[in-house]
Structure 1
Amino acid sequence: MAFRGYLYVLCAAVLWGGLGPVAKYAFSLGVQPLEVAFWRCVIPFAPFAVQALARGDSLRVEPADRLAMAGFGVVCIAAFYGVYQLAIQEGGAALASVLMYTAPAWVALAAWGLLGEGMSAAKLGAVAATLAGVACVSGVLGPEAGQGVSATPKAVLLGLLSGLTYAMYYIFGKGRLRRYPTPVLFLHALPLGALLLLPFVEFSPKGAGAWAAIVAVSLLSTWGAYSVYYAGLRRLEATRAAVVATLEPVVAAVVAYLWWGERFTAAGWLGAGLILGAVVLVVWDGRRLRAAREAAPGHA
C-alpha cells in the first residue's frame, strides 16, 4: 500500500515538474503565458466534474464558505496560474519551479501572522535558508544564475509571487475549505479563475503542437497531477508525500536542461538546495509537532 502511494506521489511530482518545460514549448510556438493559464482553468473542468460525480461528492458550498471559495479562485487559481506562467517565460522553467518552492516559507510566515501558529526555531531556520537560497539563485550571492536561466529582478519577483500564491493553497485548505474534496474545490474555483484571466488573454492562432502543449499542461500537469497526488495521500502520511513531492523542481530542472539547455551555476544549485532543504525542514517540523501533540497526556 505504501509503495503504491510513493509511486502515485512520484508520478505527480514528475507531471508537475514537466509543466514549465512544456509551457515554454507553447510559448515558443507563439502562445502567450496568460493564454496557457486561461486554458489551464478551462480544460480540466470537465474531468474534475466527472471525478466529483463518480465519487458522489456534493457540489454544494455552504453560504459561510462562499467568500473563502471565491478567494481560493482568485488567489490560488487566477493569480497563481497567471504569475507562474509569466515567471516561466521571464526566467525559465527551472528558476520558476525552484522559486515556487519558497511556498513553505511563505506558509510559515502567513500561518504565524494569520492563523496564530507558533514560529518554531525550525521554521525560522527554514525561512532563513529560503532567503539565502533566493539570494543564490538570483545571483545576489554569486555570478549570474546560469545558461538559459534569466534571473532578472522581474523573473525573481514573479517567481516569488508564484510561491506566495501557491502557499495560499495551504492557508485556504487549513481554513474553511478543508472539508471540501479537491474535485469540488476546483469545480468552483476554475470558472472564476478563467473569468478573471479572460480580459488579459491575447488569443493566438494555434497548430497541433501548441494545442498538444496546452492540453498536456491542463490535463497531465493539472488534473492528472492533482488526482494521482491525492491518491497517494490516501496511502501515505502527508509528511512523506510532501517530501517526495519536492522532486518536482528537480524534475523541472533536469527536463529544462535536456530540452532547453537551462542550467544553474554552482551558486544557483546551492540556492536550489537551500530552498528545497527548507521545504524538508518545514515538513519535518510539522511532523515533529504533531507527534508531540499526540504524545501529550489527555490527547484523544
Structure 2
Amino acid sequence: MRPRDFALVVVGAVLWGSGGIAGTFLAAGSDLSMIAVASYRLLVGGGVLAAGLLVAGRVRRTPWRPTVGRSRPVVIRILATGALAATYQATYFVAVSLASVSAATFVALGAAPVVVAVATAARARRRPATHVVVAMGLALAGLALLLGVPATGGPRFGLGLGLALVSAIAFAVMTLLNSRPLPGLEPLTLTAVSFSLGGAVLLPFAAVVGAGLVAPSGADGWLLIGFLGAVPTAAAYGAYFAGLRRVPATTAAVLALLEPLTAAVGAALLLGERLGPAGVAGAALLAAAIVALRPRGERVI
C-alpha cells in the first residue's frame, strides 16, 4: 500500500464530509426532496467528470466497442457501480427521514467496514491483521461518540435502520467490487459514467417523492448543487476509487468514517454546532484509527 494511494482515500473521505454541510444549506433554502438531491448530485458529479475527460481527450481511450473482448466486463462494472451508488444514496436518505440522522448514519457508515472485513476475510480465508481490527474498533467507538447514542422508536424507526443497513451493504459491495482494478477502465471514467447512470436511475423515484423534480431556487441553490456534484461527488469518489486500486478494501472502508468527522468539524466551524466532550473524544478515537491504519509497507485485508 503506497502512501499516495492511502492519501487519495483519505482525501475522498474528507471531501465527502463537506457534502453534509452543503446539503444542510440546500435543504434549508429549497423544497427539494433528499432523493432529488441525491439524483442531482450523482448526475452533476458524473457530468463534471465526463466533461473533464472530454476536454482532456481521454474519452476515446475507454473500450466501448463490442468487438473488444474486455468491453463486457467494463460495461458490467460500470452498470453495477451505478446501481450500487444509486442504492447507497437513496436508501440512506430515506433511512434518515424514517429514523434519525445519527442512527441512520451510525448504521450506514458503521456497518460498511464490518461487512467489507468479513467478506474480505472469507474470500482470503484468513482473518484481518491485528492493527486493522484495532483501528476498526477505535473508529466504530469514535463514530458512536461523535454521533451520540442513537434513539429508539417504533416500526418506522426499525424500517429506517433496515434501510440504513441496506445502504451500508451497497457501499461495502461497491468498495469490494472496485478494489480489483479492471484493465481498460480508469477510476475517473468509471465514476463519470456509473454516477451519471445512477443519477438517471433515481430520477423516476425523485419525481414522485415530496415536491418532485423541482429546480433549485435561486442562484445559491444551483451553486450548492454544483458544489455537491463537483466536490463531495466527482472529486471525492474519483479520489476514493483511484486509491482503492492499491489500498485494502477493509482499510478503505474504515477510512470512509472520516466523512462524519469532517462533517462534524465543519458544522462546528461553519454552523456554530458544538461537539461537546463526547464528540471531541469520538473525533480523537477516529483520528487514532487513521494513525493505526497508516501505510506499513505490506498489503493487509
Normalised TM-score (structure 1): 0.69
Other structure's SS at 1:200 match: helix
- Tell whether the 8 Å contact from 1:21 to 1:93 is kept in structure 2 after alignment: no
Uncovered stretches (5+) of structure 2, i.e. residues with no partner: 65-69, 152-156, 207-211
Does the alignment pair 1:110 with 2:142?
Answer: no
Structure 2 equivalent of residue 165 of structure 1: 170
Asked whether the equivalents of residues 41 and 190 of structure 1 are also in contact (C-alpha less than 8 Å), the reply is yes
Q: Which one of the candidate residues 68, 80, 99 is aligned to 1:71?
A: 80
Q: State the aligned residue count.
A: 275
Out of 57, 80, 99, which is 2:61 matched to?
57
CA displacement at 1:23 relative to structure 2: 0.8
Task: Specify the alignment match of 2:229 in structure 1.
Answer: 218
Instruction: State the AA in 2 paired with 1:190.
Output: F
Asked if residue 181 in structure 1 is aligned to residue 186 in structure 2, the reply is yes
Shift of 1:134: 5.4
Distance 1:4 1:238, change over 3 A: closer
Query: Against the structure 1 CA distance between its residues 176 and 289, is the aligned structure 2 distance closer, same or farther, given a 3 Å change threshold?
Result: closer
Quote how far apart the aligned CAs of 1:43 are: 1.5
- Whether the 8 Å CA contact 2:86–2:199 is kept in 1: the answer is yes
Distance between the aligned counterparts of 1:250 and 1:288, measured in 2?
26
1:196 aligns with 2:201: yes
Aligned to 2:45: 44
How far is the alpha carbon of 1:210 from its aligned partner? 1.8
TM-score by length of 2: 0.68
Structure 2 residue 88 is the aligned partner of structure 1 residue 80: yes
Deviations 1:131-169 (A, max 9, x none): 5455544416xxx7xxxxxxx767766655544433333
- Mapped to 2, the partners of 1:275 and 1:109 lie a distance apart of 21
- Counterparts of 1:20 and 1:155, CA distance in 2: 19
Q: CA distance change for structure 1 residues 276 and 170 in 2, over 3 Å: closer, same or farther?
A: farther
Task: Give how far 1:107 is off.
Answer: 1.5
Q: 2:109: which partner in 1? A: 100
Other-structure match for 2:299: 290
Give distance in 2, aligned partners of 1:269 and 1:95.
21
Q: Is the 8 A contact 1:105 1:123 kept in 2?
A: no
Q: Matched residues, percent identical?
A: 26
Partner Cα separation in structure 2 for residue 157 and residue 129 of structure 1: 24
Give, in whole Å, the separation in 1 of the partners of 2:149 and 2:25.
Answer: 26
Separation in structure 1 between the aligned mates of residue 7 and residue 135 of structure 2, nearest angstrom: 27
Once the two structures are TM-superposed, the CA of residue 42 in structure 1 deviates from its matched residue by 1.4
- Alpha carbon RMSD of aligned pairs, Å? 4.4
Counterparts of 2:285 and 2:166, CA distance in 1: 19
1:112 and 1:119 in contact (8 A); partners too: yes
Residue in 2 that maps onto 1:35? 36
In structure 2, how many angstroms separate the alpha carbons of the residues matched to 1:245 and 1:277?
14
Does the CA-based 8 Å contact 1:98-1:272 persist in structure 2? no
State whether structure 2 residue 259 is matched by structure 1 residue 251: no
Q: Name the stretch that deviates more: 165-174 or 79-88.
A: 79-88
- Sort the Cα spacing of 1:97 and 1:213 in 2 relative to 1 into closer, same or farther, 3 A: farther
**In the alignment, residue 52 of structure 1 is paired with which amino acid?**
L
Return the alpha-carbon distance in structure 2 between the equivalents of residues 228 and 171 of structure 1.
16
Cα offset, 1:38, TM superposition: 0.5
1:126 Cα shift? 4.5
Go from structure 1 to structure 2 and tell me whether the alpha carbon gap of 1:128 and 1:154 turns closer, same or farther (over 3 Å shift).
Answer: farther
